[in-house]
Each structure stands twice: as C-alpha cells, then as structure tokens.
Amino acid sequence: MVRQPMLFANLPLGVRRLLFGLAIVGICFLFAFPVLWLILTSLRPESGVYYVHRGTEFTLGNFAEVFQDERVVEAFANSAVIATLATFFSLLVTVSSGYMLSRFKGPVSSTWFGTIYIFRCVPYISWVIPLYFVAQSWGLYDTYVGLLLPHIAVHICFFSWLMKGFFDGIDPSMEHAALIDGCTRWGAFLRVALPSAIPAIAALGVLCWLFTWNEFLFALILTGNRVPVITVVMAQFVTEMGLRWNLMAATAVMALVPAFLLALFGQKYVIRGLRL
C-alpha cells in the first residue's frame, strides 16, 4: 500500500515556515483583537464607547468608579475565595481518585469510573434546575457551600480522567519496590507516586482555578445578593436605561488580570504536566 504524502510535506522548508508563522500570527490576532478592543473600551468615556477606534479621549475614571462600588470589590474577593477553595478540595479528591483508577482494578474502581463517566456525559447545564431546588431545600442557596459543591463535582468528574492518565504514564516499579521494602500502599502513594505527579497536580490546579474564576452559569443560578461573584456582578451594568459598556469593560479588564497572571506564571507547570 502506497502511503499518501502528508499535507504540506512536499512544500519547501521556507514555505512551510512561512505558512506556520502566518498561522501563529492569525491565531494571536484572533485572540488579541477582542482583548485590545475590551481594553480600549474600558479606557473610553461613556460618550465614546461606540467609536473606540477613533478619537484621543481616554480616562481611568471608569476603573475608579468601579472600585468605588463595594459590591464589585466584594465580588472580587468572593470569586477568589471560591476559586481557591474549589481548587483545593477538588485536588484532594481528584488526585486520589485518579490514582485509584490507574492502579486498582476491581468492582469499586469500575463503579467509580462508571459513575464519573455518566455524570461527565450529562451536559452540566442540565444540572442547574435540580441544583437550584436542592440548594433551596437544604438552605444552601446563596452560600459559599452551595456554590462550591457543584464546582467540586464538575472538577472531580472531568479531572479524575486526566489524573488517571498522568498516573498511567508513571512507572509503577518504584511503588512496587517501596511495597517490598515494607511500605504500605498509602505510604507508597504519598512518598513515591505523589511527588512524581507534582507537575500534573500543578497543571490541574491552574485549570481548576481558572475554570471556577470564569464560570458564570452556576454563579448566576445559585447566588443572589449575599454572595456576589464577579462574573455575575458584571451583568449589573445592564440596566433599563441601557448598557454601561465602559464600566462593564473596566470590570472585565480587572477580572482578566488575576487569570492572566496565573496563566502566565503557571504555564510552565501546565506544559510540563500535560507532557507526562
């Protein structure tokens, strides 16, 4: 059987490099253009948000006005706390769950795998109405716990698979040697397997935090006035009098900063973790 040549394989090296460079520039422009437009909108006065590409009138007053709103400041704090707690508790379960799925075969492991598989296949938008009624009946509506539990459940269902793949890529021979030397299975996990999976855990931690920080649907349905979060508070600038695009853009830019910094400083862990 004659193999078909790969796409672009017969092109000269210089042409391939040019096409690759153009593709990278196109992707960067695709993502950078909306962010640039958002930043320009956040710096324009309210009278200039509909022609941000023209004129030279810029102001930082939008950010000052947003910071004067106590609800926005509280929403930033709540979002940071919820994202951090959700990441911490998710990793506690996900790491041990992925290790169990990777190393143990039996009815318990198969049942757990089938459970998270079923829950992961269900679109999580379909959970919203049942979660709302459960939160109301249990007194968890508009509380930290009522918002944390759905995020933790989503993280466990998805990231347990990824953690299993990471542990599958780690040679279990060192764990077997630790067991022969008298170490318990729990001790082999803590002393041998867990340190080897630190890059993967760091990568999942970054992804968990970003997912919770940016999540909107659960926050919209399960919170009210007591626990405002930043993704929902941004919608408060949509009023019956119109949309205050300048303030909404300023809030969005401030919400981008923590996510951008975490992605910037955590990218090496994400790359290392995904290569395991």
**CA 15 to centroid of chain Cα atoms:** 37
User: Looking at this protein, which amino acid is placed at residue 142?
Assistant: D
What are the backbone angles phi and psi of residue 243, rounded to the nearest 5°? -105, 130
Residue 275 banded pLDDT, cuts 50, 70, 90: low
CA 76 to chain centroid, in Å, comes to 16
Q: What is the per-residue pLDDT for 271?
A: 66
Share above pLDDT 90 across residues of the chain, in percent, rounded to a whole number: 15
Q: What pLDDT sits at residue 7?
A: 55
**pLDDT of the residue at 202:** 86
Average pLDDT, the chain: 82
Residue 15: its pLDDT value, please? 67
pLDDT score of 87: 93
Q: Give the span between the Cα atoms of 169 and 43, in whole angstroms.
A: 48
Where does the pLDDT of residue 274 fall: very low under 50, low under 70, confident under 90, or very high at 90 and above?
low
pLDDT, tens digit, for every residue of 126-154?
Answer: 888 888 999 999 999 999 999 999 899 88
Among residues 99, 105, 113, which one has the least CA distance to residue 172?
A: 99
CA distances 20 to 10, 15, 23, 26, Å, are 15, 9, 5, 10
pLDDT of residue 1: 43
Cα–Cα dist 177/221, whole Å: 50
Q: Residue 242 forms beta bridges with which residues?
A: 239
138: number of Cβ within 10 Å = 12
Mean pLDDT for the stretch of residues 55-71: 85
pTM summary value: 0.81
Q: Does pLDDT of 76 surpass 90? A: yes
